[in-house]
C-alpha cells in the first residue's frame, strides 16, 4: 500500500511539473518608448517627451531603499527555512525546539517589518515627494 501511494504521488507530482513547464510559452514585451512607434502611441503609453535618461536624487534613493528592503526580506525568508530545519532536526529536545520556534517567530516578524517598510517607502515617495 505504501509503495503504491509513493508511486501515485510521484506520478501526480511529475505530471504537475510537466504541465506547468511545458504548457506556457514565454511572451516578451516590447518597450514602446524606445521603439519606432508613432508619437500618438508613445503619448498613450505615457512615455515622456524628453530623451534624457538622467536619474533624479529621489529615484536613486528609491532604488537603494528597494534593494535594501529586498535583501532584508530574502534574509528573513532564509532564516525561516533555517528555523524550520532546526525544528525538524530538534529530535524533541525542548531547548532546540524553543530555539527553532524563536528563529521562525523573529524571522516572520522581520518579514512583516520588511513588507511594512516597503509600503511606507512607496507611500512617502509616491505620495509626498512625487506630487
Condensed to tens digits (0 to 9), the pLDDT of residues 43-101 reads: 776 776 544 455 677 778 778 888 888 898 899 999 999 999 999 999 889 999 999 99
| pTM of the complete model | 0.54
The region of weakest confidence among 26-40, 53-67, 68-82, 105-119 is 26-40
Interatomic CA distance for residues 42 and 10, integer angstroms: 50
What the block records as the C-alpha cell of 9 is 504521488
What the block records as the C-alpha cell of 96 is 532546540
Amino acid at each position: 500500500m505504501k509503495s503504491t501511494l509513493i508511486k501515485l504521488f510521484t506520478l501526480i507530482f511529475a505530471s504537475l511539473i510537466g504541465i506547468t513547464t511545458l504548457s506556457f510559452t514565454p511572451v516578451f514585451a516590447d518597450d514602446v518608448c524606445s521603439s519606432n512607434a508613432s508619437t500618438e502611441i508613445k503619448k498613450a503609453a505615457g512615455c515622456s517627451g524628453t530623451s534624457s535618461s538622467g536619474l533624479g536624487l529621489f529615484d536613486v534613493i528609491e532604488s537603494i531603499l528597494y534593494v535594501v528592503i529586498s535583501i532584508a526580506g530574502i534574509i528573513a525568508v532564509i532564516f525561516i527555512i533555517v528555523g524550520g530545519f532546526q525544528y525538524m532536526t530538534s529530535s524533541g529536545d525542548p531547548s532546540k525546539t524553543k530555539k527553532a520556534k524563536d528563529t521562525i517567530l523573529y524571522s516572520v516578524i522581520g518579514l512583516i517589518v520588511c513588507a511594512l517598510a516597503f509600503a511606507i517607502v512607496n507611500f512617502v515617495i509616491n505620495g509626498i515627494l512625487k506630487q
